[in-house]
Amino acid sequence: MVSDTVSSEVMRFDILTIFPGFFTGIFEHGIVRRALAEGLVTVEMHDLRAFTHDRHRTVDDRPFGGGEGMVLKPEPLAEALAGLGIAPRAERSSRSTTLAPDQDNGGSFDSLRSAPAAQDDRFVEEPGFAGGTRVILLSAQGRPFTQTVARELAKLERVVLICGRYEGVDERINELYCDMELSIGDYVLSGGELAAAVVVDAAMRLVPGVLGNQASGEFESFGVADAEIDSDVEGVPRSQHGAGGLLDYPHYTRPAEFGGLRAPEVLMNGDHQQIRRWRREQQLRKTLANRPDLLERAALSAEDRKLLGAIRRENAGD
């Protein structure tokens, strides 16, 4: 479903694809459907074949140099982008808006094209970035699409997503038009459409107003640290810590007993401090078990480090 409500405040996604029908139904559920219906966000699909001029509506051609498969031709893509008012990067004024360097590594959205991949988890916003347009090529060769990137994209006015097919897109489209190549994981999909849907979903839910309860976007896996979140709600201490780059803690609901397992008692005693502490410990345990790599970049307090040390010793059987 595509909302036709367009205003300068509404975030807009444009998806360039040879399979616009692929998206039928994909945006018609839950939060995404509501955001579109309420006109908070729009998603437009653009059929690349509409920008061809031959009888067969040809969008691909054989690769120079030989080898397997076909390559998406540059002309239909360039024409589609021009039709959307997207000039080559060199001519776009938004190219001068950058993301400020983090304290320990320099970088901007533009420089992310060539910066080491680890940096894209660290960039922070500079005034002037929000509200711009970015053109993104979905590619297995791209830098990882992370929650941090999703948060940054959610601040933009417009995100244009190019879906490759076959062996990919003629590289000159990347060089001339794309601000960034994004990969949704270390595997090869048959096309960029699924990846585009992932990017739209993850970024859209972070657009202000889209999540019914804005806090649910703050307290989840890969979320920001406590320091970036209001600590209390109307004087009531929160029962969660900001993830600070860790995974989420486990969740439980009624019944209190299920399959012979009881939900943790601590969650039922109403003591927010205890619940907060227990949840933090679970976040650390889960991250250590499933994604120890995240711990290297997580925002950990002295208490977290102590807890982590104890968990490690426990795991080692000390």
Chain contacts with ligand SAM (rule: CB under 6 A)? 138-141, 163-165, 167-169, 183-185, 187-192, 195
Nearer to ligand SAM, 52 or 183 (CB): 183
Q: Please report, in angstroms and rounded to a whole number, the separation of the first and last CA atoms in the chain.
A: 56
**Number of Cβ atoms within 10 Å of the Cβ of 148:** 18
Q: How far is the CB of 166 from ligand SAM (least distance, A)?
A: 6
Sign of the Cα pseudo-torsion (189, 191, 192, 198, in order): negative
How many other C-beta atoms are found inside a 10 Å radius of the C-beta of residue 112? 22
Nearer Cβ to ligand SAM, position 15 or 275?
15
Q: Pick between residue 165 and residue 280 the one whose CB is nearest to ligand SAM.
A: 165
CB 138 within 8 A of CB 167: no
As measured in angstroms, the least distance from the Cβ of 304 to ligand SAM is: 32
Q: How far apart are CB 177 and ligand SAM at their closest, in Å?
A: 14
From CA 284, how far away is CA 300, in angstroms rounded?
10
Q: Which is nearer to ligand SAM, 75 or 167 (CB)?
A: 167
Nearer residue to ligand SAM within complex by CB, 64 or 187: 187
Q: How far is the CB of 100 from ligand SAM (least distance, A)?
A: 27
CA distance 16 to 164: 9
Name the residue nearer to ligand SAM (CB basis): 42 or 183: 183
Residue whose entry in the numeric block shows the structure tokens 């367009």: 6
Instruction: Name, in order, each residue with C-beta under 8 angstroms of 102's C-beta and a sequence gap of 6 or more.
Output: 119, 122, 123, 124
CB-based closest residue to ligand SAM: 164
- Rounded distance between C-alpha atoms, residue 142 and residue 136, angstroms: 10
**Least distance to ligand SAM, CB of residue 147, Å:** 16
In angstroms, rounded to a whole number, what is the distance separating the alpha carbons of residues 157 and 89? Answer: 17
Q: How far is the CB of 199 from ligand SAM (least distance, A)?
A: 9
